[in-house]
């Protein structure tokens, strides 16, 4: 068996067998064949697709190309949550402590931000002293002791994905659904959880901006997760505006703390409760969504969720005092309130442009090696469908310089569409996808 034979077979639209797919994944992990052959096969897959069985085989081969975390020493059903990426998406920092406070262990490996999307690890590292680089032993011990840990990838997980993802980024094959699915799920499966809740975004700030494309992606991920014997459900959630009102690392941590403290709510809380409810159901802690949401609200209102976040921060070397005084988080030197400057209704938002505005302020990366300024970003004071006047606050900018603030103001204004007539609110959820089928919401 050679890579040339495998490329030729997929070029002609034929189905690859498990052995051929495993050969490909191992070659990527070990870098034992030239990049040009790997990219030739990536393009053949992009053009001719893969069956669910092929995608499952590729996912499992990529999972097995490196270490697979063994979480069997942690009691209970471990449920992971993965988002396909968005702006102001701080759900992990809200739902992880709430779900753990309800008795379901949360052993979560997260990533960093790139481009217009924010990364959970970057947000956590804005907390003074917070450490996300735990060893696998430390990771497992922490979840056993306090029920929750959110860290970077431990060990040598899915090295085939690291190679293939870098090649996809420069060969216009990022949008291949089989390659997307195998990339996401190989890492989730290697992280060792027993079940998976997927948050598949759709809208102007999502990788998939068309609803039907997002549903199709979710269906395939659920099918592959199920074939891999990991119970998997997916929710299609909206990204036609930032999920939270805060965009930027320390600002998003502040919003999560505000929610867990009962000082804030809104769409970020609603989405976190829904995703957390499905995690509790897969973990066997609740029979119905209503029962699970009630458990989460009890944990919120009693303060157990906030206390669990404090425990996690303390266990990972951070200062839990930020949960009592958010001013201990990094503060930007320039703060400026911007007004709407007109009467009317917020019609729409280019959410990708809003994410890019934050990234250009220094809150995100254009390249993996870029340094982040944890303090910068903005608080968006309007939502789609809001009625405003000229004096209504549009946003509050947190910038390094006046020039950065001015540039961000212009970018944010350009990303928002207005109407003189009332406009509908953006939807938080569009569909639920399970192994049994699709439920439109």
For helices 3-11 and 18-30, the axis angle rounded to 10 degrees is 120
Contact call for residues 110 and 121 (beta carbons, < 8 A): yes
Greatest alpha-carbon span in the chain: 69
* Identified catalytic residue from 10, 187, 308, 310: 187
Count Cβ atoms below 10 Å from residue 293 Cβ, excluding itself. 17
Core vs surface per residue 375-398: b (16+ CB within 10 A) or e: bbbbbbbbebbeebeeebebbbbb
Catalytic residue among 112, 168, 246, 310: 168
Other Cβ atoms less than 10 A from the Cβ of 214: the count is 26
Chain centroid to CA 2: 37
Whether 278 contacts 439, CB under 8 Å: no
> Which residue of the set 64, 89, 122, 161 is catalytic?
161
C-alpha distance from residue 144 to each of 117, 156, 291 (Å)? 31, 22, 25
Q: Is 321 helix (H, G, I), strand (E, B) or coil?
A: helix
* Catalytic choice (65, 183, 237, 272): 183
Task: Verify whether residue 168 is a known catalytic residue.
Answer: yes
> 310 an active-site residue?
no
Contacts of 208 (CB under 8 A, 6+ apart): 84, 200, 201, 202, 214, 217
Query: Is 187 a known active-site residue?
Result: yes
Query: Is 161 known to be catalytic?
Result: yes
Residue of 10, 46, 81, 82 marked active site: 82
**CB burial readout 414-436, b (16+ within 10 A) else e:** ebbeeeeeebeebbbbbbbbbee
Write phi, then psi, for 401 (nearest 5 degrees): -140, 165
- Which residues are catalytically annotated? 82, 161, 168, 183, 187
């Amino acid at each position: 068996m050679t890579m040339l034979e495998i490329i030729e077979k997929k070029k002609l639209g034929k189905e690859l067998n498990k052995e051929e797919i495993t050969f490909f994944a191992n070659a990527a992990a070990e870098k034992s064949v030239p990049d040009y052959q790997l990219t030739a096969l990536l393009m053949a897959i992009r053009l001719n697709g893969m069956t669910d069985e092929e995608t499952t085989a590729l996912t499992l081969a990529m999972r097995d190309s490196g270490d697979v975390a063994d979480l069997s020493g942690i009691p209970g059903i471990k449920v992971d949550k993965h988002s396909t990426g968005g702006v102001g998406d701080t759900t992990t920092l809200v739902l992880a402590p709430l779900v753990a406070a309800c008795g379901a262990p949360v052993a979560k490996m997260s990533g960093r931000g790139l481009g217009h999307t924010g990364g959970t690890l970057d947000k956590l590292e804005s907390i003074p002293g917070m450490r996300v680089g735990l060893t696998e032993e430390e990771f497992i011990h922490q979840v056993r002791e306090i029920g929750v840990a959110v860290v970077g990838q431990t060990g040598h997980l899915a090295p085939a994905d690291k190679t293939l993802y870098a090649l996809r980024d420069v060969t216009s094959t990022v949008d291949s659904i089989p390659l997307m699915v195998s990339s996401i799920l190989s890492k989730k499966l290697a992280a060792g959880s027993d079940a998976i809740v997927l948050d598949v975004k759709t809208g102007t700030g999502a990788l998939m901006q068309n609803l039907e494309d997002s549903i199709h992606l979710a269906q395939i991920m659920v099918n592959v997760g199920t074939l891999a014997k990991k119970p998997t459900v997916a929710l299609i959630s909206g990204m036609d505006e930032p999920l939270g009102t805060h965009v930027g690392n320390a600002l998003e941590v502040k919003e999560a703390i505000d929610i867990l403290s009962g000082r804030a709510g809104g769409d970020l809380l609603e989405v976190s409760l829904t995703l957390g409810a499905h995690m509790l159901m897969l973990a066997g802690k609740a029979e119905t969504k209503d029962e699970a949401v009630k458990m989460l609200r009890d944990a919120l209102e009693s303060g157990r969720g906030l206390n669990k976040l404090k425990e996690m921060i303390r266990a990972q070397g951070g200062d839990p005092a930020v949960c009592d005084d958010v001013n201990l988080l990094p503060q930007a030197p320039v703060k400026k309130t911007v007004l709407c400057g007109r009467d009317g209704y917020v019609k729409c938002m280019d959410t990708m442009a809003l994410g890019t505005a934050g990234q250009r302020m220094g809150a995100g990366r254009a390249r993996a090696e870029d340094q982040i300024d944890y303090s910068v970003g903005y608080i968006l004071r309007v939502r789609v469908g809001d009625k405003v006047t000229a004096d209504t606050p549009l946003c509050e900018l947190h910038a390094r310089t006046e020039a950065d603030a001015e540039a961000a103001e212009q970018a944010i204004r350009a990303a928002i569409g207005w109407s003189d007539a009332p406009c509908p609110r953006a939807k938080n959820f569009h569909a639920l996808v399970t192994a049994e089928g699709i439920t439109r919401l």
